[in-house]
Amino acid sequence: MLIHGAWHGAWCWERVVPLLARAGHRVLAPDLPGHGRDRTPVRDVTLRAYADRVCQVLHEAAEPVVLVGHSMGGTVITEAAERRPADVGTLVYVAAFLLRESETLIQIASADREALVLPNLVVSEDQASATVRPEAIRDAFYGACAREEAARAQSLLVPQALAPFQTPVRMTPARWGRIPRVYIECLRDRAISPSVQRKMYTALPCRKVIAMDTDHSPFYSAPRELADHLLALAS
């Protein structure tokens, strides 16, 4: 199951899904509330609502899944795995926020002096959502992607509700902590700097750390390599 990050939708996995499916896997890639084709209003988008969506799909899965979260999706898979640990075989954090108990995404992002996202946020008048300045999006998210692919992805981004950024993550050693976890770090990332990724997976050690020499969006910049890593973990 592939969980997208902030501003994105299930569409961002479009180059990875066929590679996994051709290898014989059933692949699930839901839109989180307020993203992609989902029209949930921004005011109703919360971290709980995100986790509810993932838990619903987990409930319908025939067997424990490899649960993959990209970027903000890391907070979502943590919350969902805490609720339904028996439905998750492995947690995979792809350039993702791997937070400790009671940490918030905004705490970690605010301390990331090398990243380009927060300095380029444009917050809505009602303070409920934010976008990223258009001129910064390619460098922040798609620096190693083809220009045409980056432009298309940028056209599909939606305003991001801020409530999930400000909500503490909940997890316990007995539930979330018992699930094997893997971190895939992206060494040319400018949305979550490599040093911050390293700090997170050092604070919460993972069974395996995989390094990819790419940007924040390996599903576009290196889909075959990312798929190969996921297939190896699934086997």
Mean local confidence (pLDDT), 131-156: 97
Decide if 94 contacts 218 (C-beta within 8 A): yes
* Residue appearing with tokens 């305003």: 159
pLDDT of 112: 98
Tens digit of each residue's pLDDT (9 = 90 or more) over 53-82:
999 999 989 899 999 999 999 999 999 999
211 bridge partner residues: 185
Residues 6 or more apart whose Cβ sits within 8 Å of residue 176: 78, 81, 82, 85, 91
pLDDT at residue 235 tops 90: no
Strand intervals (E) in 33-186: 65-70, 88-94, 121-123, 129-132, 160-161, 181-186
Extents of the domains making up the chain: 2-234
For 2-234, which CATH superfamily applies? Answer: Alpha/Beta hydrolase fold, catalytic domain (3.40.50.1820)
Tens digit of each residue's pLDDT (9 = 90 or more) over 188-220:
999 999 999 999 999 999 999 999 999 999 999
Element (H, E) at 176: none
133-139 long-range contacts, CB within 8 A, separation 24+:
139/190
pLDDT of 114: 97
Decide if 105 contacts 73 (C-beta within 8 A): no
Tens digit of each residue's pLDDT (9 = 90 or more) over 28-46:
999 999 999 999 999 999 9
Q: What is the C-alpha separation between 23 and 163, in angstroms, rounded?
A: 37
Structure-token pair, residue 25 = 């896997």
Burial of 32 (0-12, 13-18, 19+ CB in 10 A): buried
Decide if 168 contacts 77 (C-beta within 8 A): no
